Each structure stands twice: as C-alpha cells, then as structure tokens.
Structure 1
Amino acid sequence: MDPITAGILAATLVPLANGAAGEAGRQAWESLTSFVRNRFGRGSDADTAAQALASHPGQVVHGEVLGRLLEHGAATDEQVAAWLRTWLHDAGPLTGQPAGTSVTNTVSGQAQVHGPVIQTHTISGPITFGPPAPVPPPAGPATGTGAP
C-alpha cells in the first residue's frame, strides 16, 4: 500500500485549489474540505490550512502545510488514512497525477544551493555524487630534453 505523504497530497491539492479539472475538480476539492471540517473540526489547523489554500491557490506553501497536516492525520488515524487513499485514487488523475505516485519538489525563497540537488519521489538505495572528475593537465609544448 502506497504511503500517504505530504508531497503526494500537495501535488493533488494545489492544482484542485487552482481550479484544475473543472467541475470534477471543484467537487473533489469540496469533498476534501468537507472531510477536513467534519473530521478535524471548523477552525482546526487543517481547516485553516484548507481555507488558506482556497484563498491563495497560487501559493504552494499552503498546499504543503495542508499536506503535512493530512499526512500526520493519516499516520495517526487509520480512518483518515483510508478516506485519503480513496480520495487520492479518485482525485489524483483529475490533476494529471497518477494516483498516489507523484510529488512536487521545490527549491525557492531564500534557498541557497551550493552543490547538486536531486528532486525525486522515491529513492531505493544510496545516492553518491563521488569525487570530481580529474582535470587533465593543460596542453602545451613538450618540456623534456630527452636521453643523452
């Protein structure tokens, strides 16, 4: 069974909040927000995050916050996990995301990257960048005098 992660949730939540998939997307979004209100309560952190995403759908950070809250809910409550699995299965394809297999990676804001960045969904096994490739000596005239 695929894990329910904040990244997978955000990759589905953000496009739906932005109006993806027309009427079907609107219904999926309403289903999610209704579930959040009923399960976590009006004014809960999850409800507040859903409202923030609905009010500012272009700000991915709101989708990431809601995704993390729902991920935590799924990890601590099997009923929440079961509902979210079904919802992701139905809503994921509306956004062009295969159900439960997509993630959004972002390097933004004040981030300063000094070296390689890997953005991926799942990694199995180690990742190594290794030492840098040796630099060949500069080409130039031969400097030896030869044998006498």
Structure 2
Amino acid sequence: MDLISVSALVSLLSKIFNSTTEKAGEQLWESLSSVVRRLFGRRSTSVEAVKRLGERPGDADSIRALAQALVDDSARDPQAAAQLRHWLAGAEQIIATNGHVTNTVHGEVRGNILQARDIHGNITF
C-alpha cells in the first residue's frame, strides 16, 4: 500500500491553488472538496480543513493543515485512503498535462468522433 505523504499533498494542493485562475485548478479544488466530504464524512478533520482552505485559498498554513488532516483521516480508513490515492493520481496527471486533454482513437472508426475537453450541454450529430 502506498502511503499518502504530507509533503506530496502540500505540493499537489499548492499546484492546484497556483492554477485556480485556470479552469483545471478550479475543477480540481471542487472535485477534492466533494471527494473529501464523501470519503470522510461531513464532520471529519479533513472536511473542516477543506472549509478553512476554501475560505483562505492558497494559504500555506491552511494547505499544510489540510494535507495533515487527509493523511490522518486516511490512516484510520484504508478504503477511503485507496480512493483518495486514486483521486490524487488523476489530479497529478491533470496538473502534469497542464489541464490539457489528449484524445486518442484506435482501430477502425465507423461513425462520428468527438474530441473535446469541457462540454456543457447536449451534443448532437
């Protein structure tokens, strides 16, 4: 089992807040907030830390507090920790690609293909 480290979380959270002016950073923050509430419950230390960081976006002390809370809550719940690690891997990939999406199509295509990043609303061909 890979351990979730405070330093890795601080690094990722800092990157998220450094890119909050970009859509990817905003979406990652919203996604993390939702994941933390779902995984650890509304009264966990992590949820309280998310709330504080949301009130003080990018604050270094609040980032470290959230990172520590996530590590502590993950240590108590291995299933939640596994799901958090999965989310973190996806977030790291998004940060690494700078929010860009790469679409790849393999094999024979019969029909329409749509390559897009953010879609809001219906799509009709």
Question: Scaled by the length of structure 2, what TM-score is found?
Answer: 0.64
Q: CA RMSD in A?
A: 2.3
1:1-148 superposed matches below 5 A:
1-20=1-20, 22-96=22-96
Alignment check: 8 A CA contact 1:25 1:94 kept: no
Gap regions ≥5 residues in structure 2: 98-125
**Whole-angstrom CA distance in 2 between matches of 1:12 and 1:21:** 16
Q: Flag the 1:56–1:15 CA change in 2: closer, same or farther, 3 A.
A: farther
Percent identity over the alignment is 37
**Whole-angstrom CA distance in 2 between matches of 1:85 and 1:63:** 17
**Whole-angstrom CA distance in 1 between matches of 2:95 and 2:32:** 14
Q: Which structure has the bigger radius of gyration?
A: 1
**Whole-angstrom CA distance in 1 between matches of 2:51 and 2:19:** 14
Alignment check: 8 A CA contact 2:10 2:67 kept: yes
Alignment check: 8 A CA contact 1:17 1:54 kept: no
Superimposed CA distance per residue, residues 46-79 of structure 1 (whole angstroms, 9 cap, x where no aligned partner):
1121121122123111111111111112222111
The amino acid of 2:69's aligned partner reads L
**Whole-angstrom CA distance in 2 between matches of 1:44 and 1:81:** 14
**Whole-angstrom CA distance in 1 between matches of 2:95 and 2:60:** 15
Gap regions ≥5 residues in structure 1: 98-148
Shift >4 Å, 4+ stretches: none
Structure number with higher helix proportion? 2
**Partner of 2:80: helix, strand, or coil?**
helix
**Whole-angstrom CA distance in 1 between matches of 2:28 and 2:82:** 16
Superimposed CA distance per residue, residues 19-61 of structure 1 (whole angstroms, 9 cap, x where no aligned partner):
4482222222212111212232334321121121122123111
Question: Scaled by the length of structure 1, what TM-score is found?
Answer: 0.55
**Partner of 1:57: helix, strand, or coil?**
coil
